[in-house]
Chain A
């Protein structure tokens, strides 16, 4: 197999014309022979470059008896490689003037470095080391296991209300691979052997499961050569990549749970199952979300916080994932308000959207809000690199970075009413009422002890 190097590039220049030349993000994308997808965007305004790699592996790809693996790798893969000593990864990037980090969702794991532009090659070297032969040994596993336990304590166990996400997903996605949270189970991590971690790495951390997205002060042709230099030799993965199929369960009945937590203010969380990101209904739900809680004049804020003074805070957000989604509304009561009363008031606002078409003015307002958000979203090179990778991996269309707004623009007032009726139903939701532990009745605390375990 001796092909000419430049033929190994599968070039596909995406040239799409956009209405707003000012914001047009130009980019180049192609695949290497080993399946690595590469996206390059040039922006010379600041002498920095973001080097990012998105691996298409998240919590949902985990074995249900080994949850937390994907997130654990986000820690483990800073331990070093065959050539990079333990603890050197972070030091090297930072001593080169760079910033680095990573994050994990249910669907993917994302690593990035933002470096001075003359350190582009270093970024490529570091990421290629991580992909080619990361160090996975017992010392690293043992250390990061402790760190992840602290992360869980700091971000969830020791924080008021923060158990909500795990409880919500557990109920809303029961029986699917979205059932567990990204932080996963500490028991599973304790039980896992070193071989299992190595197996996970060999399965998912392969070029054919990765997207290398680079944005910043780069020369496109030089960058292509450097990408080839460091990534071409990485062998294509040989194992089949588990991609669980998601089958939404039909909505049957409302799930309710009372959670006694270390809190003072009661709160209510409602989670409605909704369609996956990128679907037509998702965009309608996102606009419905803006209607409900975008800004002080939004319906929930204006009605519940300002007029009725029942809530200290009301929030809603569509949590959309690759294969499914959940629309969450939450309210913290104001002192003296009963949590049931707040919940009823939240429901009443939802009912209004279901029964009455929104006004033209209100519709124009949420369109303006969506436009503002879309235009403002490409402010940093690291953000651009991440968006390009996301759009490519999820929708096979990186150019959505320029024209996703069209999808929002095609949503009508009727769509908003329709999706409210379709998804925001009692049968389709999980409700968690958070009450202070002090409100807990003493005698019948049998099932309460379950909440205390952590």
Chain B
């Protein structure tokens, strides 16, 4: 009230003094919270068991009828797709009407009617309700399942499959479904060309005869209609619907992932990767965790104020949007977090996404975030009540999921009761970045390599069938790792020239997180190396190798060095080791051809005597090394380090890459050579270890 008075005073003042400055430095205070009232509904049940809920709302002269069967999902097996075709077919002919007549009569009223596998929705202006319900009942009670119409539907389904084959959204949802639920679960079944062929009228008719029974059906009637009118209409048209026994179905829980893996669908035309981090969860509707999970998810990825959106879009500009959901379901629920991002930031985006999931587990959210989330959910609840069908769906949910009668009446109270501890407990229970499927639909050659840091990368086709990319078959016969390495040395300038190199000195400049950095790299045969990474005014890291001794200095302090790292460091002091891999005990294997930045390259696995592994890639055409990829152990877990080499230029007759781009996790550091020279007579003092 005070607010209104203040406002009124301001207005009066303004009328005398012209403009009075509004205090824009703070947000206006809200008025007293309006009361949120749930609308009323009435219900009745027919003798055959059909339960009907009526929500009267006279705002528009319209009425909508929706009928739902409360049945366990059907496992369709090798004829996946027949259940939804059954619904479609019901609308294609009854004992009273042909498809053409049905279409004509519905359209003539300006009405709509759609039959699904276990539901019907019909709506029209009030004045057409009588006719509409009569047609609805005709479709539900008297379908004839014409064979020629099924053939049409099958043909259309095949065309639809064809259209979906290049749609990243369809592919992502198919594959995610399969990896999350498994193909033996009704939620994991995919309709394919093969399963469509297996659909026949018998299956459809049996399905209809088994499940379309009034005693498992609910009807919601919403709009400009009262209970009396509704009761008369429904009784008149649905009384003859005969009840029957409907068998329940039970399903095993899908397998929960034990560790995080990447499911990659290679779509070479992609300019974006569609990312879904997803896995099954056990969360049934009505469980006390459901409301808490709603709050936790709001904070993580419920909208444009969520952490995912704020991080991936507003902070990094990786995506148009990033969201998450924690869904409850009677059989099995699901967690999902998604984003579509440009190819080159795919790994960075996955990294940030997983980081946000981990933070939810490891740290409590702030009081402010919790309050904001509760306010948002309260507001959404109020906004949803604008549509009268919300009240009907509340009634249906209560009935179908055996929720307490006052579930929605108490909903907001329960939202308010969620605590900071609840949110963290929920995150720990339901948010599992370490046991997730990372489903990516994108350009494999651009993204596959950099995804290895998150877990094993498995390839899937667009229907969720896993396969091993057969890169080896493409290799020219007789080609070996040694030959690839020899080609590389020849491309650099030839072994004779390389043998004459006694020392190499170079400096490189780059920038990371807005800071300029300089790298000095000096090597001298035999076995001496010096590398310094500095930022203006500070030596960040230095490593020195002198014969059998090696040392690393971090911020000027000598850092402890384990045997393996030391061995690797010493190995790296060798100039052009590829000339003598055998002598050094290096194992090299040619594994296949991969696409690196749009060009084909031979992949060679290298195992050093220390056991360290890496993969090196050599351009098929030029023979030059274009990439080196290795796993790194870091405090954040294993990460993949990828270094790309480009811009090879000759220096005194030997080619040298002038640009290197290193990618580790979300970090990308590009460095350019400033100076490089050979045989300048580097002094041994350079490599002194103290």
Contacts and interface: CB of A to CB of B under 8 A. Distances in A.
Contact of B107 (A45, A150, A157, A369): A369
Interface in A136-177: 142-147, 149-151, 153-155, 157-160
Contacts of B24: 82-83, 125, 129, 132
Interface of A is mostly: helix
A222 B109 CA distance: 43
B445 to A, nearest CB: 16
B25 interface: yes
Nearest to B378: A97
Given A22-B61, A97-B380, A150-B317, A306 B99 contact: yes
A244 interface: no
B269 A228 contact: no
A1 B383 CA distance: 42
B343 to A, nearest CB: 9
Interface in B120-163: 124-125, 152, 155-156, 158-160, 162-163
| Size bin of chain B's contact surface | 35 or more
Interface in B1-37: 3-4, 7-8, 10-11, 14-19, 21-22, 24-25, 27-36
| Size bin of chain A's contact surface | 35 or more
B271 A375 contact: no
B383 A114 contact: yes
A409 interface: no
A147 B319 contact: yes
Given A47-B34, A154-B320, A294 B159 contact: no
Interface string B315-357: 1111110000000000000000000111000000000000000
Contact of A365 (B58, B108, B379): B108
A332 B159 contact: yes
A309 interface: yes
A157 B271 contact: yes
A312 B379 contact: no
A317 interface: no
B162 A265 contact: yes
Interface stretch (A193-201, A377-385, A414-422): A377-385
A302 B305 CA distance: 46
A387 to B, nearest CB: 14
A446 interface: no
A119 B30 contact: yes
B320 A6 contact: no
B124 to A, nearest CB: 7
Interface in A86-110: 87, 90-92, 94-100
Interface string B294-323: 000000000111000010011111111000
B270 interface: yes
B11 A225 contact: yes
A125 to B, nearest CB: 5
Contacts of B22: 229-230, 233
Contact of A369 (B110, B272, B372): B110
Contacts of A262: 166, 269
Contacts of A333: 159
Contacts of A264: 162-163, 165-166
Contacts of A100: 304
Contacts of B19: 232-233
Nearest to B109: A368
A364 interface: yes
Given A229-B22, A380-B386, A96 B379 contact: yes
Given A83-B25, A87-B310, A90-B305, A150 B61 contact: no
Given A225-B11, A454-B271, A375 B61 contact: yes
A265 B342 CA distance: 25
A121 B387 CA distance: 24
- Determine which residue in B27, B109, B380 has the highest number of CB atoms from chain A within 10 A of its CB, and name it: B27
26 contacts: A2-B16, A5-B14, A5-B15, A20-B61, A87-B310, A91-B305, A116-B34, A118-B31, A119-B31, A121-B28, A122-B28, A142-B317, A144-B317, A145-B317, A147-B320, A153-B271, A154-B319, A158-B270, A229-B11, A233-B21, A263-B163, A264-B162, A295-B112, A296-B106, A312-B163, A333-B159
Given A147-B319, A147-B320, A262-B166, 11 more contacts: A87-B314, A94-B376, A94-B379, A121-B29, A154-B320, A229-B7, A229-B10, A264-B165, A295-B103, A295-B107, A379-B60
